[in-house]
Amino acid sequence: MDFYSTLRTRRAIERSDVCILLLDAVEGLHNQDLKIATLAWEAGRSLIIVVNKWDLKEKENNTAAKFEKDAREKAPFLQWVPFLFASALTGQRVQKILELLRDVEAERNKRVATHDVNETLQALLARRQPPQAAGREVKLSYATQIETAPPTIAVLGNAPDLVVDHYAKYLHNGFRDAYGFMGSPLRIALRRKSGR
């Protein structure tokens, strides 16, 4: 991508809440597309992938599922991003883009009650406790959603800096399974619980 194209892309992402990445069904997902998707996701923008020219794609069993699987192998965060297979030429599924956009915007702005977030945290802790670090017991005691757009959940404990990456990912996936937040990045903020 040349300099000016990159600059325009970054500015468009900065001005957006939800980004729609348009792919060519015949060409598939290129590295450049992946860079744009990653830029949007890391900037906290919601994302929808529309695969155009679906009418021209040679189809076998589960062609759409294979297309999604291949894309998600290149970028695991795409598992949270909806794909829509459409054709601008024939009008196939074009009407669904606006509907999907509204759904993703609603997920981006969804607010989950603190009571529910805490129940989910307790269920996750009951299934798997955080690994102990260097002889210190890591305790997580409370969780609440602190932001929307993108959704952010704060998890408070005695030693947030000792929570290992794979456990933070476990919490992320658990909250995802419970609340969806389709198309939106979900941020987990590990924080120290203040003493009395």
Which residue ranges make up each domain of the chain? 3-108, 114-192
Conformational region of residue 53, where left means phi above 0, alpha means psi within -120 to 50, and beta covers everything else: left
Examine the pLDDT at 196 and tell me if it is beyond 70.
no
Interval 46-53 mean pLDDT: 97
Residue 28: strand pairing partners? 24
User: Above pLDDT 70, what percent of the chain?
Assistant: 98
Q: Which residue has the tokens 């909806």?
A: 82
Within 8 A by CB and 6+ apart from 104, the residues are 18, 46, 47, 48, 82, 182, 183, 184
Look at residue 1 in the predicted model and tell me its pLDDT: 54
In sequence order, which ranges of the chain are alpha helices (DSSP H)? 3-14, 31-42, 63-74, 96-108, 114-127, 165-179
Report yes or no: 151 and 145 within 8 Å, Cβ to Cβ: yes
Query: What's the pTM value of the predicted model, to 2 decimals?
Result: 0.90
Instruction: Provide the CATH number for the domain formed by 114-192 in this structure.
Output: 3.30.300.20
Q: What is the CATH number of domain 3-108?
A: 3.40.50.300
Backbone phi and psi for residue 190, each to the nearest 5 degrees, phi listed first: -85, 125
pLDDT of residue 29 exceeding 70, the answer is: yes
Closest by CA position to 40, among listed 194, 183, 193: 183
pLDDT tens-digit series, residues 153-180: 999 999 999 999 999 999 999 999 999 9
